[in-house]
Structure 1
Amino acid sequence: MAKAIADLAKSSGKPPILFSLCQWGRQQPWVWAREIGQTWRTTEDIGKGNPS
């Protein structure tokens, strides 16, 4: 998907869509996510139940 987005941006000359990853930082997205997305979560900021 990341390659298809990059190819489309390159061929159209327009900025790519914003691709946001969500895996809550469990697999260190700050290390690898830059290669395939523009934003990502780094903490478990969404949880079950009501916020306190």
Structure 2
Amino acid sequence: MSAELDLSPEVPEPTLLESLLYNGFFLGAIVQLLCILAVIKPTSNWYEQV
């Protein structure tokens, strides 16, 4: 048994579609968090200054 065993799994490179989906989910999550923050903490009372 002088031959070494290669136990590392061969993981294929992600396709373009998989990369777009992966990054799109993160971008969508960031947009959702920004929208939630905009609802929870509205901007200053700009309507009272007019």
TM-score (norm 1): 0.24
Greater strand fraction, Structure 1 or Structure 2:
1
Q: Which structure has the bigger radius of gyration?
A: 2
TM score, norm. by length of structure 2: 0.25
Bigger RCO (CA 8 Å, 6+ sep): 1
